[in-house]
Amino acid sequence: MALVALGVTGGIGAYKAVEVARGLQKHGHDVAAIMTRSARRFVGEITFEAITRRRVITSQWRPGANADIEHISLASDIALLLVAPATAGAIGRFAGGIADDFLSALYLATRAPVLMAPAMNTNMLEHPAVRANLATLGARGVQFVEPGAGYLACGWIGKGRLAEPDEIVEAAQRVLQPSGSLLGRLIVVAAGPTYEDIDDVRYIGNRSSGKMGYAVAAEAVRRGARVILVSGPSSLTPPSGAELIRVRSAAQMHTAVLRHALDADMVVMAAAVADYTPERRTAGKIEKADAPLELALVRTPDILADLGRARGGGSAPVLIGFAAESGDPAERGRQKLLRKGADLMIANDISAEGLGFDSDLNAATLISRDGTEAFPAGLKTALAAVILDRAEALLAPQTT
Ligand code: PMT
């Protein structure tokens, strides 16, 4: 059983934090609720007091609470600081190191892991200031439970809704009691398309949605791995617990994957990386003319092949590639496996209707140096589990 500090900040999702407290208690944890002034405009502190059976902390100025400087003593007692909902204000204060209330002082004082569940209007979430603050916190090791998309309290439809309480509790459990067959492993997953800019308006892209790669990332998180998800442009909500790095072009994906691959136990290249990019990007917008437009395209770096070369004759990281093929996927996949120096190639047959790109379903042949295995049409989530089952067998034993 652990002591969890549950910070509740002022968003409409504050009422869901009551369920989060309950969920943590069901796992045997003790919850100390901290409410900001604006959180108390949405939910009464008595509710949290009754649920947690503890005094709710609402201020650092309460007489009697400073005999042992409460935010400092709580900071060393907690196993996790969980903030749900986390408003743009709280995220900004944490990122800026501004300790102007109990919760933000606790954030600076604690060395416990920090998990935040952001919730706000879509435009606020996408504002560069908020994005920069989230990136700052992510770089410091703060983990996030991604907000969901749907109908928001403000009447908008979009991303920004507080994740469901079960999801938040599950994410907290993963921090508090990590477990699973991939515990202690670092897995880099590249997912989605890349966009190669022609000018400021147009780009060359492809139909990859990111579903396959995101399914692998979610399964790896479930198995206890630390997961770095390098994603090309995708509208999907990243699996909570994965560290997200957004990229746009093949060159950016190359840089991001290679930066982390050397420390990784496994790299899964589910992304549909562009093979060609415009030789130069035109500033502004290319004006149309009657004459045909000729674009010079040059090859992009091959990330998987570079990884294969970089590990030389070694066996780490385990390298998994995908091949989207329309004619004899197994044979073409085998050729790619050998050419790129991968350990496992997942060859999808994209000629079948409703499978592969932008679908929840896939059919594939898993090709290793020892042979092939068919995965008949099924959910990408199920294929992700089969891939990781096979890939786990290729991992070198962990040294303690
Ligand atoms: O995203 P979804 O909508 O779920 O669709 C999933 C998918 C069909 C995109 C996915 O399962 C898939 O097949 N991805 C690979 C697409 C492909 O055709 O790759 P490729 O044959 O061009 O490349 C083979 C392998 O090399 C891939 O692992 C690819 O990520 C990698 N590669 C390719 C080019 C490049 N410059 N660098 C690379 O690392």
SS (H, E, C) 38-99: CHHHCCCHHHHHHHHCCCCECCCCCCCCCCCCHHHHHHHHCCEEEEEEECHHHHHHHHHCCC
From the list 1, 69, 154, 338, the catalytic residue is 154
For the chain, which residues make up each domain, given as ranges?
Answer: 3-176, 186-392
Distance CA 310, CA 320 (A): 15
Question: Any residues with CB less than 8 A from the CB of 320 and at least 6 apart, and which?
Answer: 266, 267, 268, 269, 342, 343, 344, 345, 346, 387, 391
Distance CA 335, CA 115 (A): 43
What is the whole-number distance in angstroms between the Cα of residue 323 and the centre of ligand 1?
Answer: 5
Which run of H or E residues covers position 284?
none
Give the type of residue at 211.
K
Q: Token pair 């009447």 is at which residue?
A: 155
Distance CA 325, CA 19 (A): 47
The reported pLDDT for the residue numbered 73 is 85
Distance CA 374, CA 347 (A): 10
Please state the atom number of ligand 1 nearest to the C-alpha of residue 191: 1
Please state the atom number of ligand 1 nearest to the C-alpha of residue 300: 36
Instruction: For the chain, 400 residues long, give each residue's pLDDT as a single digit of tens.
Output: 899 999 999 999 999 999 999 999 999 999 999 999 999 999 999 999 999 999 999 987 776 666 566 767 899 999 999 999 999 999 999 999 999 999 999 999 999 999 999 999 999 999 999 999 998 998 888 999 999 888 777 777 788 999 999 999 999 999 999 899 999 999 999 999 999 999 999 999 999 999 999 999 999 999 999 999 999 999 998 888 899 999 999 999 999 999 999 899 999 999 999 999 999 999 999 999 999 999 999 999 999 999 999 998 888 999 999 998 888 888 999 999 999 999 999 998 888 888 889 999 999 999 999 999 999 889 999 999 999 999 999 999 887 6
The reported pLDDT for the residue numbered 64 is 66
Contact call for residues 3 and 25 (beta carbons, < 8 A): no
The reported pLDDT for the residue numbered 65 is 62
Give the type of residue at 133.
N
The reported pLDDT for the residue numbered 67 is 58
The reported pLDDT for the residue numbered 1 is 83
The reported pLDDT for the residue numbered 150 is 80
Give the type of residue at 36.
T
The reported pLDDT for the residue numbered 351 is 82
Single out the residue of 302, 297, 250, 292 nearest to residue 278, CA to CA. Answer: 297
| Ligand 1 pocket, CB under 6 A | 192, 208-212, 250, 269-273, 275, 300, 302-304, 321-324, 336, 340, 348, 356-358
Class of domain 3-176: alpha beta
Contact call for residues 240 and 171 (beta carbons, < 8 A): yes
Mutation choice for ligand 1 from 273, 275, 277, CB with most ligand atoms inside 8 A = 273
> Mapping DSSP to helix (H, G, I), strand (E, B) and coil, where does residue 241 land?
coil
**Minimum CA distance residue for ligand 1 atom 35:** 302
Distances (CA, A) of 305 to 89, 193, 266, 300: 44, 18, 14, 12
> Mapping DSSP to helix (H, G, I), strand (E, B) and coil, where does residue 382 land?
helix
What is the whole-number distance in angstroms between the Cα of residue 225 and the centre of ligand 1?
Answer: 23
Biggest CA-to-CA distance, the chain: 81
Distances (CA, A) of 105 to 9, 60, 81, 114, 347: 14, 9, 12, 13, 51
- Length of the chain as a residue count: 400
Fold agreement between 3-176 and 186-392: yes
What is the whole-number distance in angstroms between the Cα of residue 245 and the centre of ligand 1?
Answer: 18
Distance CA 134, CA 145 (A): 12
Catalytic, 154? Answer yes
Which run of H or E residues covers position 396?
none
Torsion over CA: 190, 191, 197, 198 (sign):
positive
Q: Which fold has domain 186-392?
A: Rossmann fold (3.40.50)
Mutation choice for ligand 1 from 208, 231, 235, 258, CB with most ligand atoms inside 8 A = 208
Contact call for residues 218 and 240 (beta carbons, < 8 A): no
**Minimum CA distance residue for ligand 1 atom 7:** 357
